[in-house]
Amino acid sequence: MVENNRWGNILAHIILILGVAIVVFPVYVAIIASTHPPGTFVRGVMPLLPGPNAIENYTTVVTQGRSQAGTPPIGGMLWNSFIMAMAITIGKLSISIISAFAIVYFKFPFRIFFFWVIFLTLMLPVEVRIVPTFQVVADLGMLNSFAGLSIPLIASATATFLFRQFFMTVPEELMEAARVDGAGPMKFFKDILLPLSITNIAALFVIMFIYGWNQYLWPLLITTDPEYYTIVMGIQRMVTGGDSEPLWHLVMATVVLAALPPVLVILFMQRLFVKGLTETEK
């Protein structure tokens, strides 16, 4: 044990507080900026206290967006982002848990080979394969659609790999006991493996949801119809769209709203984490 040292404690706290400040400060600025009238930023001095225009700014982004620059009200964009993130998350989770189940519990030819093929896709994130993927999606006529937004992002190995690692820690006797109890492979999966994986599923849900929500490059590339704009790319459109100066107060209000859902997901899922961690045991 390290001895409790007064100065050491103070130093540690200073470093931690500094770290938190560096992370939190931009968020704070964004929130403050979203409460000021349009003119404030043109003057070049960044206010650090809330301004009077909070309600007005937020009402504007939610109801009108920045229509003259071709950006729709953000309600629709938030919804699009939500659909895309959910589709990616649920798609990834269901595909990866099933493939991990196959790889761990079934013996089939080239099993290890397939595992490595899946594993190799880790090295090919969307950004690397973006041109060929665009071509494929375009040829399939999936531009400007939710399918086009989510399907190409579903294929990934991270979750498969994590589920595989988890399944390997589940004692083999559980599977054997289930066999003696008359449960076939799918019944074992449904009745035993799935309930045991709840904690992992919850953790991956959070990670995948945020991954999906934060997608920027891909939606920017394949959506030209404002109906399918997602919030993250919408912010970019807001900044660059139109000839006038970016309306920073509205951009910042959008940023704050865009950051809310991931925060809510984490807050909600955290309860599940704790519950899972305290109630599950292998």
Partner 1 sequence: MASITMDNLGKVYAGNVRAVTGVNIDIADGEMIVLVGPSGCGKSTLLRMVAGLETITEGTLRIGERVVNTLEPADRDIAMVFQNYALYPHMTVFNNLAYGLKNRGLKKAEIDRRVKDAAEMLQIGQFLDRKPRQLSGGQRQRVAMGRALVREPAAFLFDEPLSNLDAKLRVQMRVEIRQLQKRLGTTSLYVTHDQLEALTMADRLVVLNGGRIEQIGTPMELYSRPETVFVAGFIGSPAMNMLPADYLRTLVPAEALAHVPQNADLIGIRPEDLALAPPAMGEIGLSGRLLLLEPAGAESHLHLVFDGIDEHVVVRLPHVPDVSEGATLQFSLKREKLHPFHQASGQRVA
Q: Which region, judged by CB under 8 A, interacts with partner 1, from 74-82, 125-133, 139-147, 169-177?
A: 169-177
**Minimum CB separation from partner 1 for residue 165, in Å?**
18
Binding range to partner 1, per CB under 8 A, among 77-85, 143-151, 190-198, 230-238: 190-198
Report the residue from 17, 191, 260, 274 that binds partner 1 according to the rule CB under 8 A.
Answer: 191
Nearest 5 degrees, angle CA 36-CA 251-CA 63? 90
Amino acid at 169: T
Task: Report how far residue 103's alpha carbon sits from residue 106's, in angstroms, rounded to the nearest whole number.
Answer: 6
Nearer to partner 1 by Cβ, of 7 and 110: the residue is: 110
x/- track of binding to partner 1 for residues 64-103 (CB under 8 A): ----------------------------------------
Displacement of CA 161 from its chain's centroid (Å) = 18
Among 1, 55, 180, 186, contact with partner 1 (rule: CB under 8 A): 180
Measure the CA–CA gap between 254 and 252, rounded to whole angstroms: 5
DSSP summary character for residue 37: -
The number of helix segments (H) and strand segments (E) in the chain equals 14, 0
Q: Which CB, 187 or 271, lies closer to partner 1?
A: 187
Residue 169 within binding range of partner 1, rule CB under 8 A: no
From the list 80, 130, 118, the residue with the least C-alpha distance to 230 is 80
CA quadruple 175, 179, 181, 184: dihedral positive or negative?
positive
Contacts to partner 1 by CB under 8 A: 171, 173-174, 176-183, 187, 191-192, 195-196, 279-282
